[in-house]
Homo-oligomer: A and B are copies of this chain.
């Protein structure tokens, strides 16, 4: 950690992960409240609880770098709170699609950034992002829901488009505000990174993965 710029970028990545886990906890706990059955509630509550485990892991990693998790998260309150403020699910299905599409998009982005950090931090990022066992549950629920109510598919397709639009606009805001994080991607003289063409390919990958996820849900993107 001799490179201050590198260190600041890694702290930013961990700060995003920590705040992301905390807001995911809140959102999943809210979704659990409106779960149609107690079994569904337990599913969501279990995944919500796991977010706090992730938060604690990231917080410990930051502590090892002498950084307070509260301070590391602070720059990311505004973009996350704006994203969640603009994308409040109106029902159970919108909540599920948001968990699938929004978290999937964010996870892809974190993995892209993690390619440029040290092995320790990268392993932590992958560990935090590995727990995706809600996916089969969400796919089954959404497919069932749209089968029973054909109009729902159209509404959820629009919803998916809005989610990815908001996610992209908040990601751009973060990129514009946080030089340290951006320079993790672009690199420095001493540290290789992505050129503009590579960054544009990265965004293509993010959008392609989003399209794939919508298709898994049986929705148009």
Contact = CB atoms under 8 A, between A and B. Distances in A.
* Copies of this protein chain in the complex: 2
B73 A49 contact: no
Q: How large is the interface on A (under 10, 10 to 19, 20 to 34, 35 or more residues)?
A: 20 to 34
Interface in A31-45: 32-33, 38-39, 41-42, 45
Contacts of A52: 45-46, 48-49
A99 interface: no
A42 B68 CA distance: 13
A25 interface: yes
B22 A41 contact: yes
A49 B70 contact: no
B46 A22 contact: no
A32 B52 CA distance: 13
A73 B38 CA distance: 10
A138 interface: no
9 pairs of A and B residues whose beta carbons are closest in the complex:
A49-B52, A29-B29, A49-B49, A25-B45, A45-B52, A46-B52, A38-B70, A39-B70, A26-B33
9 contacts: A22-B38, A22-B41, A22-B42, A22-B45, A29-B30, A30-B33, A39-B70, A42-B55, A49-B51
